[in-house]
Amino acid sequence: MDYPRALARRWATVAVVGTGIVVYGGCALLHYDLGSTTVSFVMFAGLFGGTAWFLGHEVAAYRRCPRCGTQQTGRPGACPDCGYDVAARPRYACSEGHGSFEPGLCDCGRRLAAYDPPDVAGRVMRMVWFGVALLVVLVAVGLLLG
């Protein structure tokens, strides 16, 4: 199995197990019957398992070298194949908007200047926190509705 799918599956499994612990634990504390608890669990597990699956793919993509495509499996660092700094992801662009992963001259002859890409790590962290907040809200609503 390739790494993005393996990571997505691992994240989804953790999310489903975590959802199970929270839902069954919460419902046991409140003495809900097993039937409605299981309905809640299936609903939340599908929702959060799917979210975690998607996030796993996002993180795996973030760890892949954008220059040569080599996949790293831990905290990203210098690419073992081409030496590109996958963590810092320096990007360059000329005034015409042509992108490059190295400084110097663009293929069109213009100078390449450092280019700030969108904040990918910050976006992933916001999505993770959004997922956590959603879990808390949905569990709270689910418990209130019984």
Residues 6+ positions from 129 with CB-CB distance below 8 Å: none
- Cα separation, 59 vs 124, in Å, equals 8
81 near Zn ion, rule: CB under 5 A? yes
Binding residue for Zn ion (CB under 5 A) from 10, 98, 111, 123?
98
Tokens of 82: 């081409």
- Cα separation, 31 vs 2, in Å, equals 43
102 near Zn ion, rule: CB under 5 A? no
Strands, E assignment, 10-123: 91-93, 99-100, 104-105, 111-115
17 near Zn ion, rule: CB under 5 A? no
Per CB under 5 A, the segment of 13-21, 49-57, 91-99, 114-122 that binds Zn ion is 91-99
Per CB under 5 A, the segment of 12-20, 48-56, 100-108, 133-141 that binds Zn ion is 100-108
Contact 104, 112 (CB under 8 A): yes
Shortest Cβ distance from residue 85 to Zn ion (Å)?
A: 10
106 near Zn ion, rule: CB under 5 A? yes
Which residues of the chain form contacts with Zn ion (CB under 5 A)? 65, 67-68, 70, 79, 81-82, 84, 94, 96, 98, 106, 108, 110
